[in-house]
């Protein structure tokens, strides 16, 4: 009995000590584990070539091998979220796709190229990106089924043009009237032999729903992180090396908060086989009428005030650094150059929807604000294809008419804000068409 009791005491003591050792061990283990979690081993320093060993610490993104990088970020957009515009008609998704060097390239360059597109013209971005080596912020409108085409495009870009993909931040706009749906990945998305396909009939619904140009411009602009922004339409191609040329120019130019640097835009005849290599080349084409100032035939006010004859005569050839050719001295209403400026310029008024008065209304406000437009040389931009004056479709006329009416309100609002009317707009209703 005593023995049994003694045994009992012994085993009780023994158990106690086993339990307490286990408990102490557990406490120590916990403490060590906690310390390890709070201070994990530091990430291996990024070396070239990158380490081939498997990653040893969880949260170090840059040790994840390339194959594991996300090639389909669009599929993970939560379509129930997004940021509403002022009229609650569009949902905006900032940074839906961001290339892995976008932020780094943004801190290395002075200028970010901002642009916007509907899905069927998005492939034109590739031409722009081939000439522009800086960061690119692009807003894309997608509706209904089109989202799967955007998935296809970004996946294609990731796999087939990784250098371009890495410098891009892509933002998405979805109309509330035509909510988007994730669809299946198109087969062409993983085939680098084929260019990314434009969809067949994406245009049809756009006859009834205006393209929200100014929403898109603001979305692209506001996601640039460089000191200056160059906002262009997606079919406007910069001359080669422009990002570096602008970098040199802006680094040595005194700060000028109310300066907008205009880059002249030419339309180029389709028969011209090669992109003009330099200014002498575009001047030569202009003399032969194979290049003309953008919109000269369709809408002369568009670039007229930039004074192309003066630009062409001002010399400055491929060997000269980018410089100011001349100031715009005859500003006129409906002037709408493409310009480089800090993104403190006025926003694009989002009440203008579809075509007409979308860009020139913003440029007009800059003029009232006191901006001086300065034309740069020898850099330029190109729109492939001469534009002919044709009858515009009825839907486009309707959008223009609606915007013309809104412009009447807009110019009165600006007068109330700036208390000046240098072009005497308040005396007459707006009749010129855009
Ligand atoms: C300008 O471009 C043309 C056409 O490519 C070329 O022949 C010419 O040599 C270029 N000029 C210079 C100075 O590079
Ligand atoms: C263009 O510049 C020339 C001088 O080089 C000047 O005579 C002309 O008035 C200017 N035109 C415009 C529209 O500014
Ligand atoms: C290019 O411009 C520089 C100065 O702007 C000039 O000295 C040079 O002669 C020009 N070259 C050509 C080929 O026109």
User: DSSP states of 261-276 as a string?
Assistant: EE--EEEE-TT--S--
Range of the domain at 307: 239-434
Report the 10 Å Cβ neighbour count for 351.
Answer: 15
Q: How far apart are CA 30 and CA 415, in angstroms?
A: 69
Coil/strand/helix, residue 434? coil
For ligand 2, pick from 329, 331, 334 the residue to mutate: most ligand atoms within 8 Å of CB: 329
Q: Say whether both 207 and 250 belong to one domain.
A: no
Please work out whether the CB of residue 321 comes within 6 Å of at least one atom of ligand 3. Answer: no
Cα of 300 from ligand 2 centre, angstroms: 15
Average confidence (pLDDT) per 10 residues, the chain, 434 residues:
42 55 66 55 44 45 49 93 97 97 98 95 94 98 92 95 97 95 90 75 70 97 98 96 96 95 95 92 94 80 89 77 94 95 97 95 97 97 84 86 96 96 82 53
Q: 207 near 246, Cβ under 8 Å?
A: no
Return the pLDDT at 33.
57
Q: Say whether both 84 and 174 belong to one domain.
A: yes
Of the listed ligands, the closest to the CA of 303 is 2
424 within some domain: yes
Q: CA torsion angle for 174, 211, 261, 103 (degrees, to 10)? A: 10
Please work out whether the CB of residue 317 comes within 6 Å of at least one atom of ligand 3. Answer: yes
Q: Say whether both 409 and 329 belong to one domain.
A: yes
HSE-up of 341 (CA within 13 Å, CB side)? 23
Of the listed ligands, the closest to the CA of 313 is 2
Q: Say whether both 263 and 395 belong to one domain.
A: yes
Of the listed ligands, the closest to the CA of 377 is 3
Cα of 384 from ligand 1 centre, angstroms: 20
Q: Of 181, 213, 234, which residue constitutes the final position of a domain?
A: 234
Residues 6+ apart with CB under 8 A from 45: none
Give kind and range of the element (H or E) at residue 115.
strand 111-118
262 within some domain: yes
Q: Say whether both 211 and 348 belong to one domain.
A: no
371 within some domain: yes
Q: How far apart are CA 390 and CA 396, in angstroms?
A: 12
- How do strand 111-118 and strand 136-141 relate by DSSP bridges? parallel
Q: Which residue has the tokens 């006859």?
A: 207
Give kind and range of the element (H or E) at residue 114.
strand 111-118
Please work out whether the CB of residue 318 comes within 6 Å of at least one atom of ligand 3. Answer: no
Q: How far is CA 339 from CA 132, 195, 309, 374, 411, in A?
A: 15, 30, 19, 9, 22
Q: What is the pLDDT of residues 99-108, one digit of tens each?
A: 999 999 999 9
Q: Say whether both 91 and 203 belong to one domain.
A: yes
CA-closest candidate to residue 145, choices 116, 123, 120:
120
Q: How far apart are CA 327 and CA 306, in angstroms?
A: 8
19 within some domain: no
301 within some domain: yes
199 within some domain: yes
10 within some domain: no
Q: Of 201, 234, 267, which residue constitutes the final position of a domain?
A: 234
Please give the structure tokens belonging to residue 278: 């330099």
Nearest protein Cα to ligand 2, atom 3: 310
Please give the structure tokens belonging to residue 208: 């009834």
Q: How far apart are CA 248 and CA 260, in angstroms?
A: 16
Please work out whether the CB of residue 320 comes within 6 Å of at least one atom of ligand 3. Answer: yes
Q: Say whether both 173 and 314 belong to one domain.
A: no
Coil/strand/helix, residue 217? helix
Q: Say whether both 307 and 393 belong to one domain.
A: yes
Return the pLDDT at 2.
39
Q: Say whether both 174 and 187 belong to one domain.
A: yes
Distance of CA 284 to the CA centre of its chain: 32
Of the listed ligands, the closest to the CA of 328 is 2
Tell me how many domains the chain contains. 2
Residues 6+ apart with CB under 8 A from 152: 185, 186, 188, 189, 196, 197
Return the pLDDT at 385.
83
Of the listed ligands, the closest to the CA of 320 is 3
Q: How far is CA 137 from CA 81, 218, 287, 340, 400, in A?
A: 21, 11, 35, 14, 27
Q: Work out which ligand 1 atom sits closest to the CA atom of 319.
A: 13
Return the pLDDT at 113.
98
Q: How far apart are CA 261 and CA 274, in angstroms?
A: 26
Return the pLDDT at 57.
44
Q: How far apart are CA 189 and CA 194, in angstroms?
A: 9
Backbone angles phi, psi at 154, to 5 degrees: -70, -35
Return the pLDDT at 28.
64
Q: How far is CA 1 from CA 6, 8, 9, 10, 431, in A?
A: 8, 10, 12, 14, 116
Nearest protein Cα to ligand 1, atom 2: 277
Q: Say whether both 181 and 271 belong to one domain.
A: no
Q: Say whether both 175 and 198 belong to one domain.
A: yes
Nearest protein Cα to ligand 1, atom 1: 278
Q: What is the pLDDT of residues 23-41, one digit of tens each?
A: 666 666 666 555 555 554 4
Cα of 306 from ligand 2 centre, angstroms: 9
31 within some domain: no
Distance of CA 314 to the CA centre of its chain: 32
Q: Of 189, 204, 234, which residue constitutes the final position of a domain?
A: 234
Cα of 382 from ligand 2 centre, angstroms: 22
Cα of 318 from ligand 1 centre, angstroms: 8
Torsional sign, CA 114, 118, 124, 125: positive
Q: Say whether both 104 and 190 belong to one domain.
A: yes
Return the pLDDT at 73.
93
Please give the structure tokens belonging to residue 158: 């990731």
List residues near ligand 1 (CB under 6 A).
Answer: 277-278, 280-281, 318-319
């Amino acid at each position: 009995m005593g023995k049994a009791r003694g045994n009992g005491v012994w085993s009780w003591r023994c158990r106690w000590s086993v339990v307490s050792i286990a408990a102490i061990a557990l406490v120590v283990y916990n403490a060590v584990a906690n310390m390890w979690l709070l201070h994990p081993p530091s990430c291996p320093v990024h070396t070239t070539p990158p380490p081939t060993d498997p990653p040893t610490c969880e949260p170090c993104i840059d040790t994840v091998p390339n194959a594991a990088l996300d090639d389909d970020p669009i599929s993970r957009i939560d379509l129930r979220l997004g940021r509403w515009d002022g009229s609650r008609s569009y949902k905006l998704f900032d940074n839906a796709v961001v290339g892995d060097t976008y932020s780094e390239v943004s801190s290395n360059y002075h200028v970010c190229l901002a642009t916007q597109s509907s899905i069927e013209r998005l492939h034109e971005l590739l031409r722009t990106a081939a000439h522009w080596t800086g960061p690119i912020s692009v807003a894309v409108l997608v509706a209904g089924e089109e989202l799967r085409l955007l998935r296809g495009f970004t996946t294609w870009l990731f796999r087939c043009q990784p250098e371009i993909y890495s410098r891009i931040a892509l933002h998405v706009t979805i109309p509330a009237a035509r909510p988007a749906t994730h669809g299946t990945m198109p087969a062409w998305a993983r085939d680098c032999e084929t260019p990314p396909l434009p969809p067949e009939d994406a245009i049809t619904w756009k006859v009834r729903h205006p393209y929200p140009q100014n929403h898109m411009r603001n979305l692209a602009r506001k996601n640039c992180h460089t000191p200056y922004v160059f906002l262009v339409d997606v079919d406007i191609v910069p001359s080669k090396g422009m990002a570096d040329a602008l970098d040199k120019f802006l680094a040595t130019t005194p700060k000028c908060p109310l300066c907008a640097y205009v880059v002249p835009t030419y339309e180029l005849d389709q028969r011209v086989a090669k992109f003009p290599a330099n200014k002498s080349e575009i001047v030569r084409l202009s003399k032969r009428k194979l290049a003309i100032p953008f919109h000269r035939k369709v809408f002369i006010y568009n670039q007229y005030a930039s004074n192309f004859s003066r630009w062409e005569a001002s010399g400055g050839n491929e060997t000269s650094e980018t410089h100011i050719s001349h100031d715009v001295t005859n500003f006129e209403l409906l002037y709408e150059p493409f310009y480089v400026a800090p993104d403190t310029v006025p926003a694009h008024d989002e009440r203008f929807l579809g075509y007409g008065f979308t860009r020139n209304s913003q440029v007009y406000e800059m003029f009232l604000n006191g901006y001086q437009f300065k034309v740069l040389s020898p850099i330029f931009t190109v729109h492939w294809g001469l534009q002919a004056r044709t009858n515009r479709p009825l839907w486009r006329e309707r959008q223009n008419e609606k915007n013309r009416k809104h412009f009447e309100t807009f110019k009165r609002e600006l007068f109330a804000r700036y208390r000046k009317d240098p072009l005497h707009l308040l005396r007459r209703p707006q009749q010129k068409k855009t």
